[in-house]
């Protein structure tokens, strides 16, 4: 396993970039990004219609 300090720094940089809604590409791993999901309505199984609030979500796309 890599040095804990290195891992911590990598994670800190990644988190800081994601908080700024940045997109980070790491070779050999993949790409981290933030996507906005609009509010949307959907129907539950019991029939009620729920409108989900919007959200900014972290998305990871693995490298192929």
d(CA 17, CA 60): 13
In DSSP terms, 56 is beta-bridged to 36
Mask 41-60, x = binds another protein (CB under 8 A)? Answer: xxxxxxxxxxxxxxxxxx-x
Nearest approach in angstroms of CB 58 to another protein is 4
Instruction: Kindly determine how many residues on this chain lie close enough to bind another protein according to the rule CB under 8 A.
Output: 52
In DSSP terms, 43 is beta-bridged to 49
- Positions that interact with another protein (CB under 8 A): 1-3, 5-15, 17-30, 32, 34, 37, 39, 41-58, 60, 62
């Amino acid at each position: 396993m890599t040095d804990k300090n290195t891992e911590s720094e990598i994670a800190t940089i990644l988190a800081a970039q994601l908080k700024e809604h940045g997109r980070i590409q790491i070779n050999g791993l993949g790409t981290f990004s933030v996507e906005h999901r609009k509010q949307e309505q959907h129907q539950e199984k019991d029939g009620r219609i729920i409108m989900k609030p919007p959200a900014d979500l972290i998305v990871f796309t693995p490298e192929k």
